[in-house]
Chain A
Amino acid sequence: MAVDTVQPTVHVDLPKARNRRESQLGLMWRRFRQHKLALVSLWVVVFFYLVALLAEFIAPVDPVHYSARYTYAPPQGLHFVAQNADGGWEFGPYVNGYKTEIDPVALRRTFVIDEEVRIPVRFFAESEPYLLAGVIPLSVKLIGVENPRDPFYILGADRLGRDMLSRLIHGTRISLSIGLAGVTLSLFFGIVIGGFAGFYGGWFDSAVMRVVEFIRSMPTIPLWLGLAAAMPKDWSALQTYFAITLILSLIGWTELARVVRGRFLSLRTEDFVTAAQLDGASDWRIVTRHMVPSFTSHIIAAATLAIPGMILAETALSFLGLGLQAPIVSWGTLLQDAQNIRTLATAPWLLAPGVCVVIVILALNFFGDGLRDAADPHGR
């Protein structure tokens, strides 16, 4: 038989040596890397999630530790080089102390940074023993003052003299994890419900899509407010946390279900799915082996783009006092303190959580956009 064996030629748009055995996800990563903004955003996101994960280690003090002496103490900043009185240079991290001044007009006590006082700071400072992420016992912090009685407020203090930086770091954990948990929950509902609707179609599909449209047509803020207000006041912090997650994903699943259903519908008509059917593959095998791998990348992208919405929703609810409640530290509850203008005028550092929200949301959006573009080469 005369069949000439041909070597596969490599597609025009791919460099030859590298693409030999690349999978779809490998290809996606390559395309993603070309998207510079998305790549930077990825690192930003990774940074924030690391902070969230290692909150106890990174935060210098306990977020609920308060000190009435240092109400609204301004940020000390962190210094590394100092000039001695004799003109020599001294190296090593330190923060300045505070001195109190009386405002002669308002007769109000204000804190002023006292550059004379230097409080040495140490990395990997010893501390009270604690559990990192609730599991690993540690008694060392990333950063700390040598004498725990010295004031240490790199980002300033709040109304009760609590360290803003530590609270921000712990808030990051709650806010980011609620986004992640909400999306995971939404993803579960979305994939199961959207998958069934897309794969089997028919009346179930129509019913699901009507429900999705109904939910999406409801104004979300009042709905959340209603649901949040219905939560019993005596629930523990953990219970509220999960309740809020559930409330957020109640809306969140609809978008993901739509994406999943759409992918299923379009894949169902692809020839390779028909081919798998004709191979005699079961529905389960067709879905898990042929269809799902073809759109995992799209799902990842859609899920990433859904996280910012969750974070914003949580922040908004908590800001309005209807989400997480006071002992829990989240960006939203932190921003509650920044609600009135006068406080803001005297202690603008209370807005730090807002800055974090903006950075994280932007980074997640750019990252998600990058993923989406990478997942769909024809979309551009």
Chain B
Amino acid sequence: MTKPLLTINDMSITFTSPDEADIEAVRQVDLTLTPGKTLALVGESGCGKSVTARAVLRLLDKNAKIPTGEILFDTGSGAVDIAKLKSDSLAMRALRGAEISMIFQEPMSSLSPVHTIGDQVDEIIILHDRLNKKQARERTVSLLDQVGVPGARDRANAYPFELSGGLRQRAMIAMALACTPKLLIADEPTTALDVTTQAQILDLLRQLQDDFGMAMLFITHDLGVVAEIADDIAVMYLGDVVEQGDVFDVFRAPKHPYTQALMNSVPRLMRKAERQRLTPIKGTVPSPKDRPVGCAFTSRCPHAFAPCPTVRPERTQIGADHVARCHLLTHVREEAMA
């Protein structure tokens, strides 16, 4: 097994606000990313998936803290704990962009509207790799070419608003890859795109991963996209990672009731004769303030029983590479032992 590139151990993130109690947006998350592999972070809105990803780049809002846990990033010459770095420190800035970069859902808001995309990519290359302008532009053009921007040399002189949504997303990917990062964080990169464009971008990301060998942390709410692109999956619900593991294992035999329910909520392509009624999860996601001390899913879980609201389920190993936090898993075992 390859050495992990990024290891998140027991990380929590809390948001403080002047008039209200602190909110623990993410609690005790463990994640591991290996080079060349994609970990998909899945969950519905407000589950803490984006916050988790931003914590890796220390792009959190000012009122967010990481009170416990570590984010170990392997720089090649020893591990750095990102959780201990200041978000504007030199060390963090050296990681950002060069070692870890990020692409967003809406490229328009992360590209500068007053600079051509070529200039924006050039700038990153010049900043991190100390090339001169001409060399940088050569790199830019070959990058844009690599991410599938047709007529890269001309398009480098285009402003973001002159490009279609798909091309903008490609340009942003080129920017993110300008310094051949070891880790790419993709926050819902295809959500705003049409389905055919989405398929193209997913293809591109896989292709680039093969070429560059970077690890990818892919955030999405779409289980279809996860199934297409991920090697590993971590399912989040209200700040908890409830289940994680190899994508094939988790899809084949989801163990946590939330994962199961989520998968049953997605309509499958089926002939009319075989079509079954969807079984949605009852109720709605409670506010993080009302999250039970125990399992976050208690209020909507069809199997909830005595210990669920009060005792937080431990991480339980199910398979070689498959972990879930659910009392059902341990409870059954205890009963068997008794």
- Asked if residues B282 and A4 are in contact (CB atoms below 8 Å), the reply is yes
Q: Please indicate the chain A residues that have their CB under 8 angstroms from the CB of B288 in the complex.
A: 12
Q: Please indicate the chain A residues that have their CB under 8 angstroms from the CB of B289 in the complex.
A: 12
B287 at the interface (CB under 8 A from A): yes
Q: Please indicate the chain A residues that have their CB under 8 angstroms from the CB of B286 in the complex.
A: 9
Which residue in A6, A11, A15, A34 is a CB contact (below 8 Å) of B283? A6
B165 at the interface (CB under 8 A from A): no
- The minimal Cβ–Cβ distance linking B214 to chain A, given in whole angstroms, is 34
When chains A and B are docked, how far (Å) is the Cα of A144 from the Cα of B287?
Answer: 61
Which residue in B46, B284, B287 is a CB contact (below 8 Å) of A6? B284
- The minimal Cβ–Cβ distance linking B116 to chain A, given in whole angstroms, is 30
A14 and chain B: residue at smallest CB distance:
B287
Q: Please indicate the chain A residues that have their CB under 8 angstroms from the CB of B285 in the complex.
A: 9
Interface string of B277-306 (1 = CB under 8 A from A): 000001111111100000000000000000
Q: Please indicate the chain B residues that have their CB under 8 angstroms from the CB of A11 in the complex.
A: 287
- Asked if residues A9 and B20 are in contact (CB atoms below 8 Å), the reply is no
- Asked if residues A12 and B287 are in contact (CB atoms below 8 Å), the reply is yes
- Asked if residues B46 and A12 are in contact (CB atoms below 8 Å), the reply is yes
When chains A and B are docked, how far (Å) is the Cα of A11 from the Cα of B282?
Answer: 18
Query: In which size bucket is the chain B interface?
Result: 10 to 19
B286 and chain A: residue at smallest CB distance:
A9
A34 and chain B: residue at smallest CB distance:
B19
Q: Please indicate the chain B residues that have their CB under 8 angstroms from the CB of A9 in the complex.
A: 284-287
Q: Please indicate the chain B residues that have their CB under 8 angstroms from the CB of A6 in the complex.
A: 282-284
Interface residue ranges of B26-66 to A (CB < 8 Å)? 46
Q: Please indicate the chain A residues that have their CB under 8 angstroms from the CB of B287 in the complex.
A: 9-12
Q: Please indicate the chain A residues that have their CB under 8 angstroms from the CB of B46 in the complex.
A: 12
Interface string of B124-159 (1 = CB under 8 A from A): 000000000000000000000000000000000000
When chains A and B are docked, how far (Å) is the Cα of A15 from the Cα of B289?
Answer: 10
- The minimal Cβ–Cβ distance linking B296 to chain A, given in whole angstroms, is 15
Query: In which size bucket is the chain A interface?
Result: under 10
Name the prevailing secondary structure of the B interface residues: loop
Interface residue ranges of A40-72 to B (CB < 8 Å)? none
When chains A and B are docked, how far (Å) is the Cα of A11 from the Cα of B286?
Answer: 9
- The minimal Cβ–Cβ distance linking B10 to chain A, given in whole angstroms, is 25
When chains A and B are docked, how far (Å) is the Cα of A294 from the Cα of B44?
Answer: 30
A7 and chain B: residue at smallest CB distance:
B283
When chains A and B are docked, how far (Å) is the Cα of A4 from the Cα of B300?
Answer: 12
Interface-centre pick from A4, A10, A12 (highest chain B CB count, 10 A): A12
When chains A and B are docked, how far (Å) is the Cα of A9 from the Cα of B284?
Answer: 7
B285 and chain A: residue at smallest CB distance:
A9
When chains A and B are docked, how far (Å) is the Cα of A12 from the Cα of B287?
Answer: 5
Interface-centre pick from A6, A9, A15, A34 (highest chain B CB count, 10 A): A9
Interface residue ranges of A1-49 to B (CB < 8 Å)? 4, 6, 9-12, 15, 34
- The minimal Cβ–Cβ distance linking A200 to chain B, given in whole angstroms, is 30
When chains A and B are docked, how far (Å) is the Cα of A11 from the Cα of B20?
Answer: 14
Q: Please indicate the chain B residues that have their CB under 8 angstroms from the CB of A12 in the complex.
A: 46, 287-289
When chains A and B are docked, how far (Å) is the Cα of A296 from the Cα of B164?
Answer: 38
Q: Please indicate the chain B residues that have their CB under 8 angstroms from the CB of A4 in the complex.
A: 282-283
When chains A and B are docked, how far (Å) is the Cα of A12 from the Cα of B19?
Answer: 14
- The minimal Cβ–Cβ distance linking A5 to chain B, given in whole angstroms, is 10
When chains A and B are docked, how far (Å) is the Cα of A11 from the Cα of B284?
Answer: 11
B277 and chain A: residue at smallest CB distance:
A2
- The minimal Cβ–Cβ distance linking B65 to chain A, given in whole angstroms, is 18
- The minimal Cβ–Cβ distance linking B93 to chain A, given in whole angstroms, is 27
- Asked if residues B284 and A15 are in contact (CB atoms below 8 Å), the reply is no
- The minimal Cβ–Cβ distance linking B323 to chain A, given in whole angstroms, is 29
When chains A and B are docked, how far (Å) is the Cα of A9 from the Cα of B287?
Answer: 8
Q: Please indicate the chain A residues that have their CB under 8 angstroms from the CB of B282 in the complex.
A: 4, 6
- The minimal Cβ–Cβ distance linking B147 to chain A, given in whole angstroms, is 33
Q: Please indicate the chain B residues that have their CB under 8 angstroms from the CB of A10 in the complex.
A: 287
Q: Please indicate the chain A residues that have their CB under 8 angstroms from the CB of B284 in the complex.
A: 6, 9
- The minimal Cβ–Cβ distance linking B238 to chain A, given in whole angstroms, is 11
When chains A and B are docked, how far (Å) is the Cα of A4 from the Cα of B302?
Answer: 14
- The minimal Cβ–Cβ distance linking A203 to chain B, given in whole angstroms, is 29
Interface string of A258-296 (1 = CB under 8 A from B): 000000000000000000000000000000000000000
When chains A and B are docked, how far (Å) is the Cα of A34 from the Cα of B288?
Answer: 23
- The minimal Cβ–Cβ distance linking A14 to chain B, given in whole angstroms, is 9
- The minimal Cβ–Cβ distance linking B282 to chain A, given in whole angstroms, is 6
- The minimal Cβ–Cβ distance linking A36 to chain B, given in whole angstroms, is 11
When chains A and B are docked, how far (Å) is the Cα of A10 from the Cα of B20?
Answer: 15
- The minimal Cβ–Cβ distance linking B44 to chain A, given in whole angstroms, is 13
Interface string of B251-284 (1 = CB under 8 A from A): 0000000000000000000000000000000111
A8 and chain B: residue at smallest CB distance:
B284
B284 and chain A: residue at smallest CB distance:
A9
When chains A and B are docked, how far (Å) is the Cα of A208 from the Cα of B287?
Answer: 47
- The minimal Cβ–Cβ distance linking B41 to chain A, given in whole angstroms, is 20
Interface-centre pick from B19, B20, B286, B287 (highest chain A CB count, 10 A): B287
Q: Please indicate the chain A residues that have their CB under 8 angstroms from the CB of B283 in the complex.
A: 4, 6
A10 and chain B: residue at smallest CB distance:
B287
Interface string of A193-217 (1 = CB under 8 A from B): 0000000000000000000000000
- The minimal Cβ–Cβ distance linking B144 to chain A, given in whole angstroms, is 35
Q: Please indicate the chain B residues that have their CB under 8 angstroms from the CB of A15 in the complex.
A: 20
- The minimal Cβ–Cβ distance linking A140 to chain B, given in whole angstroms, is 45
Q: Please indicate the chain A residues that have their CB under 8 angstroms from the CB of B19 in the complex.
A: 34
- The minimal Cβ–Cβ distance linking B78 to chain A, given in whole angstroms, is 40
When chains A and B are docked, how far (Å) is the Cα of A10 from the Cα of B287?
Answer: 8
- The minimal Cβ–Cβ distance linking A150 to chain B, given in whole angstroms, is 53
B23 and chain A: residue at smallest CB distance:
A12
When chains A and B are docked, how far (Å) is the Cα of A340 from the Cα of B10?
Answer: 73
When chains A and B are docked, how far (Å) is the Cα of A15 from the Cα of B285?
Answer: 16
When chains A and B are docked, how far (Å) is the Cα of A34 from the Cα of B285?
Answer: 28
When chains A and B are docked, how far (Å) is the Cα of A348 from the Cα of B331?
Answer: 85
- The minimal Cβ–Cβ distance linking B219 to chain A, given in whole angstroms, is 20
- The minimal Cβ–Cβ distance linking B50 to chain A, given in whole angstroms, is 15
When chains A and B are docked, how far (Å) is the Cα of A53 from the Cα of B20?
Answer: 40
When chains A and B are docked, how far (Å) is the Cα of A135 from the Cα of B283?
Answer: 61
B282 and chain A: residue at smallest CB distance:
A4
When chains A and B are docked, how far (Å) is the Cα of A98 from the Cα of B166?
Answer: 84
Nearest 8 pairs of A and B residues by beta carbon: A12-B287, A9-B284, A4-B282, A6-B283, A6-B284, A9-B286, A10-B287, A9-B287
A4-B283, A34-B19 given; name 4 further pairs at CB < 8 Å.
A6-B282, A6-B283, A11-B287, A12-B288
User: Can you give 8 A-B contacts (C-beta < 8 A)?
Assistant: A4-B282, A4-B283, A6-B282, A6-B283, A9-B285, A9-B287, A12-B288, A15-B20
